Amino acid sequence: MSEFDVIVVGAGPAGSSAAIKLASEKMNVLLVDRADPPGSKNISGGVLWGNDLEKIVPNWNKMAPVERYITSKGVGFLTKDSSIDVNIKSRKFLQGVTGYSVLRVKFDQFLAKRAESAGAMLVSGVTVENLAFKDGKVIGVVQEGDTITADTVILAEGANPRVAIDSGARRPIADQDVAIGIKEVVKLPEATINERFGLTSKEGFAGEYALGFLEDGVEAGGFLYTNRESISLGVVINMGHLRADDKTYSFDIMDQFTDHPSIASLIENGKLSEYSAHLVVEGGYNSFPKQYGNGYMIVGDAAGLSFSNGLMIQGMNYAIASGILAAETAIEAKKSSDFSEKSLSRYKEKLMESFVAKDAYNFKGIEEVTWGKLAHKIMPSLMEDVLVNMFLTDGTPKKHLTELIRKAMKENNVKSSDLLMEGYKMIRRM
C-alpha cells in the first residue's frame, strides 16, 4: 500500500494543475516543490492563456494575481538602426479574452495554494533527490535517503528536470531542445506604461521581436510584455548558434536588446528590479522525449511541451493542459489498479488528441523558420532598406517601390531564389 496515490514533483503551472485536478477528485496527493515559497524559482517569458485553467479553477482570472489582460500584440523586426513593428490592437481580442501577463512568484503560489485547499498536501522547500524504483517500476521518490511511496509519480520539474534526467526517466537535454532565456523586470509607474503603450490600466501589450541587429551567426528572439507596474522583457538565444559563434556572451545579447533605441524608449527611466535566466524549451514535435513509463508521467516543460511559431509563445497553457491530462490518467489508473507503462500510455494518447500535440504537430519543423535566416536577417534588413527609403525625404525624387526592393535585395546580397526558398519554407511551416 503506497503512502500517496500520486506524488507531484514541482509546483509550477503543470504540477499544481495536476494536483488541483487530482485532489478535487479525492485522490491522495503530495505536491512537493524545492522552492520556499513554491514558485519562487519560476519565471515566465510570455503570456498565460487560461482556457484550460478555467476547467479546474473556474473564474481563475477573477481570483488569481494577474497583471494585465493582453489586448495588444506586437511583432517587431529590429535592425541596428531601425525597428519595423506590426502592432495589432483589436476589440476582437476582448471577446472571451484569456491571455494575461503574470508574475510567476505570486501566480504560482496562488495555484499551489489552490491545490492545497482542494485537499493536496503541499510541501515546499524540499528537494526530491531521485525516483525510487522497485522491479523496474517507479514506486515513489527519495528525499534525504528516505523513500516516500506513491502509485504514480508526476514529474513537473520544469525546463531543467534533474530528477527525470538523473533517474533515466527522460533523455538528457541537447542543444536543439532548448534556448537560453534571460529576462529583466523593469519597474515603471502604471500611468507611464499606459501612456507608452496606449493602454488603459487593465489592458496589456505583449510583443515578440526578431533581433536582426546581432552580428555573426547568432540568432535570438526578444520578448516584452507589460505588467501592472513593471515591464518584463528578455531574450531567447539559440544554444547551437551561440556555441558555433564562440565569441558572443549570452548576457551581452540581453544588453543589446535593452539598449536598442526602440526598446530603450519603452523602458526609459525604469528601475531594474530583477534579472533572471531560464532554459526555454524549444524542441517541438520532432524531439519530444519519452513522457511516461512504469509508474510515472512527465508534464509541462520537463516533457518538452512548449511551442513557438515565431508569433506566439506557448508554455504555461501547455503545462496546465498536460498536468490535467496526466491527472486524469492517474485517476483512471487507480480505478483499474494498473500503474504500468501500458496503463499510463493513456496519457500520451490524451496528449496526442489534445491541442498541445496538435499544435506541435501542425507546426513541426517551425524551428527551421523561427531560427532561420529569413526571419532574423533577410526580412529585417530588406524591410528596413525599403521602408526607410520610402519615407526618407532627402530632396531626391521618390523611387518606385519595386525599384527600392530590387535595390535593397542587391545591397543586402539577397538573391530572388533565396528569398523564394526561405519564403516558401516560412509559409509551409506557419
Partner 1 sequence: MKVEEKLSLLNYKTDPEYAHITIKPPICAVCPDHFCTFACPAKCYTLLNGKLNFKYEDCVECGTCFVACAHGSVTWTNPKGAHGVKYKFG
Binding mask 224-253 for partner 1 (x = CB under 8 A): ------x-x------x--xx-xxxxxxx--
User: Closest CB to partner 1 among 231 and 327?
Assistant: 231
Minimum distance, C-beta of residue 273 to partner 1, in the bound complex (Å): 6
Interacting residue with partner 1 among 159, 344, 374, 404 (CB under 8 A): 159
Place of cell 530603450: 264
Binding mask 27-66 for partner 1 (x = CB under 8 A): -------xxx--xxxxxx----------------------
Q: Are 178 and 33 in contact (CB under 8 A)?
A: no
Q: Which of residues 139-158 bind partner 1 (CB under 8 A)?
A: none
For residues 430 and 372, give the distance between their C-alpha atoms in angstroms, rounded to a whole number: 13
Number of residues located near partner 1, criterion CB under 8 A: 56
Interacting residue with partner 1 among 90, 127, 265, 340 (CB under 8 A): 127
Minimum distance, C-beta of residue 235 to partner 1, in the bound complex (Å): 10
Q: Is 282 in the site for partner 1 (CB under 8 A)?
A: no
The span of 78-86, 273-281, 332-340, 399-407 binding partner 1 (CB under 8 A) equals 273-281
The span of 180-188, 289-297, 305-313, 323-331 binding partner 1 (CB under 8 A) equals 180-188
Q: Is 277 in the site for partner 1 (CB under 8 A)?
A: yes
Q: Which spans of this chain sit near partner 1 (rule: CB under 8 A)?
A: 34-36, 39-44, 103-108, 124-127, 129, 159-160, 162-163, 166, 173-175, 177-178, 180-182, 184-185, 230, 232, 239, 242-243, 245-251, 254, 272-279
